[in-house]
Chains A and B, each alone.
Chain A
Amino acid sequence: MMRPMYRCLLALHPAMFRDRFAEEMLWIFDESQGRWPRKLFVDGVVSLFRQWLLRSNIWKIGVATAVCSVLLFAWWQGQESSLDAAFSRGDPGALEAAAASRIQQTAAQTAARTPDPVKAVQGIVDAFRDHPLVMVGEAHWMQQAGNFYVQLVRDPAFQEAVQDIVVEFASRNNQPLLDRYIAGEDIPMEDVRHIWRDTTKVASWESPIYAEWLAAIREVNKGLPPNRRLRVLAGDTAIDWSQIRTHAEWAALGDNNISFADVIVNQVLAKKHRALVVLGSNHVAKNGGRDADNARTRVESRYPGSTFIVQTNFPGLLDSASQALLSSPGRNTPVLYKLVGTSLGEAADRNGTPLSAKADALLYLGPPETSLALPPAGSLESTYLKEVDRRSMIEWGELRPRKFLGPAAQ
């Protein structure tokens, strides 16, 4: 009897707390074997109030509603008198103006319920004022994202704001090659491709958006003085595929979050640089993502407050109601929505996690496109595809890239 009641008490906690800790609290209840049930219940009730009143943002909604109600009432009183005055004067022009003013103000108040977006380039540049790192959690292979990365590095304010760009799609052993390419050195394309091909994740960066982005940075650097050129830092764990024969050897490379964090700490923060970091969403999520300890949490444990997390919007991230809140002023004008303390931040992702628990801002690139930027059909050489098959069998035990590479692998 006591156990179901305690379980109900836990179920009443906010989802974020409940998902993370309720099972553990129930386990403690089981372990205590009813030795101090009353104390556990009192503790549970106190916890319930604390989580809802202090830790969730519900109290802010209550206060905001009360303040809005008072302001709305005061405004309505004022409008009543202006409309009354217009009526009593029998002045149709004044009556029309007063009514139009009321409609405009009502519309403005409705719009204020959703956060105001800012242009994404400007929003990211602004975030560098308070944080040396802006970490973008991307959904890989999105053409919209690729276009935005190019737009970002071409912006003079961005070039002024950062020194480094840390990427997931290059392994650290290729840093010298990457430096030479980004510096503008003439290197045959078959050599350059090693940058995104020889990483710990097999064939995962064949989408042309990554090569196009590197080419854009190379072009930008040609127009910048040497001391202001952007450096691209390879974040992925170093790997020599010629030495990898078994899955155990591949697995022994370990968690690439360790490598990302190491590069960021030693190549960026230790040098007092600022960097844009672009990794998969799980590597940058504020709550640690799938692995509980990701690149962001590892960096924050060394440099608290150093990161500003931007989650890219992608198909399926939000439900249709939350998706409907988003819009951008033009097709090529991505925008950034602040999440902390906003109604959008309270929206849950497909796993039920509030967005504000994962990121500080949402990057909206336009209505999310479900199709991805694939390499052109037949563009991958047969010798490379043979090596992809070998690596694929080592990493996954199946020929998975043959599926996601599409016509390029046929």
Chain B
Amino acid sequence: MRESFKELLPLSPAVLHILLALSGEDRHGYGIMQEVLRQSEGKYKLGPGTLYDNLQKLLEQGIVREAAPRSSSADSRRRYYRLTPFGRRLLATEVDRLESALRAARIHLRPRPERT
């Protein structure tokens, strides 16, 4: 059986930002929200409802999984999430797709000499 991302791509903006936030390290929900804010330079504010709705789906699809807390003293309500190897490959595929789209966009939008 070959891995297929067909049904999962393209990623929604919220999912893309969540996966990007988790690509560097395990984060808890609030950490993901802050990282998304940082990555988007304050332009994309993810609410907890949207975040956990998407996390629920990502957990069910095996794209993200729960990770062990970093320290035993951490607030017990705080759960950490991690990108699975499958999730990482999915994100890499999406980034490739976006790069191709960007390349095409740059070619078509490049300023051209005006016709005379």
Alpha-carbon distance between A252 and B28 when the two chains are bound, in angstroms: 27
Answer whether A300 and B47 are a contact pair too, CB < 8 Å, given A24-B77, A28-B29: no
Q: Which residue of B lies closest to A24 (CB)?
A: B29
A63 to chain B: closest CB distance in Å? 22
Question: Scoring A residues 16 to 46 as 1 if CB is less than 8 Å from chain B, else 0, what string do you get?
Answer: 0100110111111101000000011011101
B66 at the interface (CB under 8 A from A): yes
Q: Of the listed stretches A145-153, A302-310, A317-325, A374-382, name the one at the interface; the rest are far from the partner chain.
A: A302-310
A247 at the interface (CB under 8 A from B): no
B23 to chain A: closest CB distance in Å? 16
Asked if A304 and B49 make an inter-chain contact with CB atoms under 8 angstroms apart, the answer reads no
Q: Which residue of B lies closest to A306 (CB)?
A: B1
A46 to chain B: closest CB distance in Å? 6
B38 at the interface (CB under 8 A from A): no
Answer whether A272 and B49 are a contact pair too, CB < 8 Å, given A23-B77, A293-B65: no
Contacts of B3 in A (CB 8 A): 303-304
Alpha-carbon distance between A50 and B45 when the two chains are bound, in angstroms: 18
Contacts of A204 in B (CB 8 A): none
Answer whether A293 and B66 are a contact pair too, CB < 8 Å, given A25-B48, A43-B50: yes
Interface size class of B (residues with CB under 8 A): 20 to 34
A117 at the interface (CB under 8 A from B): no
B2 to chain A: closest CB distance in Å? 9
- Of the listed residues A28, A40, A303, the one surrounded by the most CB atoms of chain B closer than 10 A to its CB is A28
- Scan residues 262-304 of chain A and give those whose CB is less than 8 A from a CB of chain B: 269, 272, 286-288, 292-293, 297, 300-304
Alpha-carbon distance between A286 and B59 when the two chains are bound, in angstroms: 10
A180 at the interface (CB under 8 A from B): no
Contacts of B78 in A (CB 8 A): 24, 27
Alpha-carbon distance between A272 and B65 when the two chains are bound, in angstroms: 26
Alpha-carbon distance between A44 and B52 when the two chains are bound, in angstroms: 11
Contacts of B47 in A (CB 8 A): 39-40, 42-44, 46-47
Asked if B85 and A301 make an inter-chain contact with CB atoms under 8 angstroms apart, the answer reads yes
A297 to chain B: closest CB distance in Å? 6
Alpha-carbon distance between A170 and B33 when the two chains are bound, in angstroms: 45
A353 to chain B: closest CB distance in Å? 13
Q: Which residue of B lies closest to A300 (CB)?
A: B62
Answer whether A302 and B52 are a contact pair too, CB < 8 Å, given A31-B30, A132-B1, A272-B1: no
Asked if A27 and B86 make an inter-chain contact with CB atoms under 8 angstroms apart, the answer reads no
Question: Scoring B residues 45 to 62 as 1 if CB is less than 8 Å from chain A, else 0, what string do you get?
Answer: 101111011011001111
A135 to chain B: closest CB distance in Å? 14
Alpha-carbon distance between A236 and B63 when the two chains are bound, in angstroms: 25
Asked if A25 and B1 make an inter-chain contact with CB atoms under 8 angstroms apart, the answer reads no
Asked if B49 and A301 make an inter-chain contact with CB atoms under 8 angstroms apart, the answer reads no
Alpha-carbon distance between A250 and B32 when the two chains are bound, in angstroms: 36
Q: Which residue of B lies closest to A9 (CB)?
A: B49
A interface residue numbers (CB < 8 A to B): 17, 20-21, 23-29, 31, 39-40, 42-44, 46-48, 50-51, 55, 132, 269, 272, 286-288, 292-293, 297, 300-304, 306
**The 10 nearest A-B residue pairs measured at CB:** A47-B49, A43-B47, A301-B62, A21-B52, A27-B77, A300-B62, A23-B77, A43-B49, A25-B48, A301-B84
- 8 additional contacts (CB under 8 A) given A20-B52, A304-B86: A24-B28, A24-B48, A44-B48, A132-B1, A301-B62, A301-B84, A303-B1, A304-B62
